[in-house]
Amino acid sequence: MQPISLRSRTWDSAVAEGSFPDLATRELEVEDNSAVPMVSTGEGEGPLIVASNAVAEDSSQGPVRHEVIEPGRALAIAEFTALSVNPAERLIRLAYRMGIPGSMLSMPVGKKVGPRLLATATNPLAGDRASGIALRAGHFLVHGVKTPIAQVDFGGAARLVPPLERVVHAFEWLGDLDASAPREEAAPVAERITAAWLKANPKPPSKPGKGSAWTVGNTGARLLNWLVEAPLILSGVDRGLRSRTLHAIVDTARWLDRNVGRAEDRLAEAVGWSAIVAAGLLMPGGRPRRLYGEAGLLRALGEMVGDDGGVLSRSPSVQMEAIATLVKLRACYEATRRDPPAAIEDMLAVLVPPLLSLTHGEGSLGSWQGGWAIPAGAVATLIEASRVRTRPLRDVRQWGFQRMTADKSVLQIDAAPPPMPRHARFGCASTLALEFSSAGQRIVVNCGGAGAAGGIVPMRLEQGLRATAAHSTLTLDDANSTAILINGGIGHGVSEVEVERRDLEIEGQGPATRIEASHNGYAARYGLIHRRILILRADGTELRGEDLLVPSGRKGKRGKVAFAIRFHLGPEIEARLTDDRQGAGLALADGSYWQFRSGDGEIAIEESLWVDGNARPVPVQQIVIQGLVSRGGGTFSWLLKKMG
């Protein structure tokens, strides 16, 4: 059996005036059956995974554990225990699925019951008070943009920007209104908007796709919000409106029964099933619908996430939406004094840790896959409502993100291909990008915010914010590592990612964590593999990196290609070039001072933008290492170090 050689490259001793120690590692001999077998994901066009857990002995550093991580497209379907139902319930569920009305299966023959709700659920998630105040003043406030309620086309003939469509047609504004005033003051506003919406949408269409009001995702969220915020829309003196609203709830539940399988993606399907279950819990004769919905929800949840709990869209904002949906559904169970199926609690326990892995030291989220820097308060409120007490995952293997913590510093890395096209909501070409923060101050960021485009962030920037250049990583010829398509889609590009993580002992400096990852996004066009090595010291004061371009074939191509390695800087950081143009000083808002050094080529400081926690674009700076590199490959090392 032939051994396979694993090599690491020597750091340029000239970088940062000799601050890089010699980290060359000797050639490691690893048995080929435990080192780098190539495993197919079974996804057809999905990537190959390098898998290894071999332990090798390096005489210079002692035992080294090689931990090779699976990439995001290898998401395995989560498995949950089947619902415990007796034969009678199984028969009822089958009959309901075949189209037999629930009233015939759960009520005495000939007995008719008008539409009503059996219990009042309490929304466990507080809305945004400022948005609620704007509603009372006559405006929808979405991501900083006010839209007069009177000018909104509730029928959907005139398309709204996506964030506003979601708020209007999913009735997410109900929670905001509820948080802004006592019920007696908020209810009249809710009734006026609901009446206008019902007038524009008197009956459901035959199938989804007839405008944004009738996508499965928006319809499911709307029904769920109607049920958990029912007092706002059903407690007024207008009995006619109350009757129309109750009949709309009944009609919407029936529409979802027929069309939930036509959802636009897995999350939308799970939201639709959750609404069906909620309707079965809170409406008369709902037992057959509840049994039918629970079975569908369980299946949808299993297909929505991987074993480590990451949603297939790989977006932290979508992860939050999934958690919020299940939290609201659990409130419906509690309103009827029922225990939710164990699978729902299991799913919440699985969803929370990956979300926490993308938080920085102060608790806000990193900007990944269309998300933005969602504030710590919003994240904490959601986690508290989930009732899950856990810690962040260090590496979310199938979801594809790596997290390294060192004292007060946090490093996040996208170590996987973008989501598969059928799962992408705001798919970004961000493979091997990083975010870095220290003591709650973001130092290196990604632009983020594609999912908020249509608010203060203009829609014309949506595709640009999803591009590789909007992330802190390397680009070739100003091209994306994976093609960016319209409507959140992703094309060809990165299909294979290799990741290795291990702990080191740096002579004279103490322990550190090292991650080496590579992707093939530029192999087809330029014949080059991008490999990134990152080493974070245990005290969090030093992050070293090396970006390598390695020929993908045995013989490199001729000529040169332009490259750029971008480091988008966090807000309130003042960057200034050093005299030799091989470094930059970074003055942070907290008074600390960091130095960036490049060992290969001059650097430049350029303008950039970052989408903050309120979904507002904030002007920031970026450090760019750029130039021409041979098609035969190249190596570019850099250092980010805290001074003083």
The answer to whether the CB of 390 falls within 8 A of the CB of 129 is: no
- Please state the pTM of the whole predicted model: 0.85
Residue 324 to residues 166, 331, 381, Cα–Cα distance (Å): 15, 11, 10
C-alpha span between 199 and 195 (Å, rounded): 6
The fraction of the chain above a pLDDT of 90, given in percent, is 71
Looking at residues 456-460, what average pLDDT do you find?
95
User: pLDDT confidence of 54, banded at 50, 70, 90?
Assistant: very low
- Encode pLDDT of 511-540 as tens digits: 999 999 999 999 999 999 999 999 999 999
Q: Give the Å distances, CA to CA, from 288 to 89, 104, 284, 435.
A: 8, 10, 11, 48
Mean pLDDT of 207-215: 85
Nearest Cα to 436, choosing from 319, 316, 567? 567
**Selection from 465, 459, 538, 531 nearest residue 497 by Cα:** 531
- Measured distance CA(323)–CA(347) in Å, rounded: 9
Check whether 600 has a pLDDT greater than 50.
Answer: yes
Question: Residue type for 397, please?
Answer: R
Look at the chain and count its residues: 644
| Average pLDDT of the segment spanning 209-213 | 80
Per-residue pLDDT for 4 more than 80?
Answer: no
Least-confidence region, from 97-111, 420-434, 472-486, 546-560: 97-111
Task: Report pLDDT for 51.
Answer: 34
- pLDDT score for 542: 96
Q: In the prediction, which pLDDT does 50 show?
A: 40
Stretch 339-349: mean pLDDT, rounded? 93
- Measured distance CA(564)–CA(223) in Å, rounded: 48
The lowest-confidence range among 396-400, 474-478, 545-549 is 396-400
* Least confident residue range of 166-175, 231-240, 344-353: 231-240
Instruction: Pull the structure tokens for residue 229.
Output: 């915020």
Has residue 63 got a pLDDT over 80?
no
Torsion sign over Cα 420, 421, 426, 430: positive
- Whether the pLDDT of residue 167 is over 70: the answer is yes
* 485, pLDDT greater than 60: yes
In the prediction, which pLDDT does 558 show?
81
Q: How many CA atoms lie within 13 A of 293 on its CB side?
A: 28
Q: Is the pLDDT of residue 31 over 50?
A: no
Which of the residue ranges 61-65, 77-81, 141-145, 235-239 would you say has the lowest mean pLDDT?
A: 61-65
pLDDT at 605 over 90: yes
Which two structure tokens, joined as six digits, stand for 582? 């091989």
* Distance of alpha carbon 130 from the chain centroid: 25
CA distance 23 to 534: 12
DSSP letters for 429-492: --TT-EEEEETTEEEEE----GGGTTSSS-GGGHHHHTSGGGSSSEEETTB-SS-B-STT-B-S
Confidence (pLDDT) at 287: 87
pLDDT given at position 7? 31
Reported as a single tens digit per residue, the pLDDT across 271-281 is 999 999 999 99
Please say whether the structural domain 404-643 has been given the CATH code 2.70.98.70.
yes
Q: For residue 236, what pLDDT is reported?
A: 79
% of the chain at pLDDT higher than 70: 82
Query: Which stretch of 100-104, 128-132, 264-268 has the lowest confidence by average pLDDT?
Result: 100-104
Distance, in Å, from the CA atom of 398 to the CA atom of 414, rounded to the nearest integer, reads 11
Q: What is the per-residue pLDDT for 395? A: 72
pLDDT level of residue 29 (50, 70, 90 thresholds): very low
pLDDT of residue 16: 34
Identify the pLDDT of residue 111.
58
Distances (CA, A) of 213 to 189, 197, 379, 596: 20, 10, 28, 49
| CA–CA dist 448, 470 (Å, integer) | 8
Quick one: 430 exposed, middle or buried, by C-beta within 10 A (0-12, 13-18, 19+)? buried
Mean pLDDT computed over 275-304? 92
**218-248: pLDDT as tens digits:** 999 999 999 999 999 998 778 899 999 999 9
Apex 133 CA angle, 132 and 137, nearest 5: 115
What's the rounded Cα separation, in Å, for the pair 115 and 614? 40
H/E segment holding residue 38: strand 38-40
Distance, CA of 370 to CA of 445 (rounded, Å): 13
Query: Exposed, middle or buried by CB within 10 Å (0-12, 13-18, 19+), for 553?
Result: exposed
Distance CA 312, CA 304 (A): 6
Model confidence at 211, pLDDT cuts 50, 70, 90, reads confident
Q: Where are the domains of the chain?
A: 115-284, 404-643
**Using one digit for the tens of pLDDT, what is the confidence trace for 566-581?**
999 999 999 999 999 9
What CA–CA distance (Å, rounded) separates 623 from 602?
A: 11
Average pLDDT over all residues of the chain:
85
CATH superfamily of the 115-284 domain: Chondroitin AC/alginate lyase (1.50.10.100)
Quickly count: other Cβ atoms within 10 Å of residue 31's Cβ: 11
Say what the pLDDT of residue 511 is.
92
Q: Say if residue 330's pLDDT is above 80.
A: yes
> Residue 424 and residue 292: Cα distance in Å, rounded?
28
